Amino acid sequence: MTAAKIQNGNGKEDKKFFLFEKTALIGLVSGLAGIYTALLISFRSASFADSVNTPFSFAAGIGMIAAIVWAADAVRKISKYGLGTGVPSVGMFGIGIACVIAVFSVFLNTIWSPVIGTALALIIGLVSGKLINSALGMNIPDMEKRIAEITTGCTLAIISSVVIVAGTVQNISGYEYIMAGIVALGFIGVAVAVFHAYNANLGPDEMKDRTRMLTILDASLLLLIFAAAALFWRAGQNEGIQTIIGSTVTIFMSIVFIFTAYYKFWTYVKRDAWKITETGLLPGEEDLN
Partner 1 sequence: MDPLIGMGVLALVGAVAAIAGYTEDLESVVGSQSNPNSQVQLAPQMKYPHRLFNKAISGEPLSNGLAAVVGAVISVSLEFYADLSIITVIVIGSMAAMIIHMILAATSFFGRIASQSRFKQPLYMDVFKTNLPVIAAYAFMTTACILIICYLMAAYLDIQIPIPLLALILGITVGSIGSSVGDIQYGAECLYQNLEFGSGVNAAYSGNIVRKAASGIRSGIDNSWFSSKFGGPTTGIAFAAVLFMTSWITVLFNPAWGGAVGWCGLIAGVLFIAATAAANRYLEKSARRNFGPYRKDEKTEGAE
Partner 2 sequence: MELLNLSVLSGPAILFPENPFYQLLLLILITLGGVLITVSVHLIPVGGAPAAMAQATGVGTGTTQLAAGAGLTGLLVAVSVYVLSGSGLICVLLGGIGSTIMISIVMLISNIGYIYGVGVPPASGKASRDPITKDRQDTYVSKGTEGHGIPTAAFISGAAGGIIGGIGGSLIFVVLLKASGLSGDDAAAILPISVILSIALFFVNAVIASYNIGGTIEGFYDPKFRKVSKAAAVSAVITLICGILCLYTMIQFGGFGLMAG
The contact set with partner 1 (CB under 8 A) reads 86-88, 92, 179-185, 187-189, 191-192, 195-197, 199-207, 210-211, 214, 217-218, 221, 225, 228-233, 235-237, 262, 265-266, 268-269, 272-283, 287-288
**To the nearest whole angstrom, how small is the minimum distance from the Cβ of residue 144 to partner 1?**
24
By CB under 8 A, the count of residues binding partner 2 is 37
Integer-rounded Cα radius of gyration of the chain = 20
Q: Toward partner 1, which CB reaches closer, 60 or 227?
A: 227
Per CB under 8 A, does 184 bind partner 2? Answer: yes
Considering only CA atoms, which of 31, 39, 19, 18 is closest in space to residue 190? 31
Nearest 10 degrees: CA dihedral of 163, 167, 172, 175? -50
Q: Which of residues 134-163 bind partner 2 (CB under 8 A)?
A: 135-136, 138
Q: Which of residues 75-114 bind partner 2 (CB under 8 A)?
A: 83-86, 88-90, 92-93, 95-97, 99-101, 103-104, 107, 109
CB 266 within 8 A of CB 209: no
Residue 117 binding target from partner 2, partner 1, none, CB below 5 to 8 Å by type: none
Q: Toward partner 2, which CB reaches closer, 78 or 261?
A: 78
**To the nearest whole angstrom, how small is the minimum distance from the Cβ of residue 243 to partner 1?**
13
Q: Toward partner 2, which CB reaches closer, 96 or 269?
A: 96
3-state secondary structure 111-156: CCHHHHHHHHHHHHHHHHHHHHHHHCCCCCCCHHHHHHHHHHHHHH
**To the nearest whole angstrom, how small is the minimum distance from the Cβ of residue 103 to partner 1?**
13
The C-alpha atoms of residue 219 and residue 117 are separated, in whole angstroms, by 20
Residue 58: alpha-carbon gap to chain centroid:
15
Q: Toward partner 2, which CB reaches closer, 25 or 127?
A: 127
The C-alpha atoms of residue 226 and residue 247 are separated, in whole angstroms, by 9
Footprint of partner 2 on this chain (CB under 8 A)? 83-86, 88-90, 92-93, 95-97, 99-101, 103-104, 107, 109, 120, 124, 127-128, 131-132, 135-136, 138, 171-172, 175, 178-179, 181, 183-184, 187
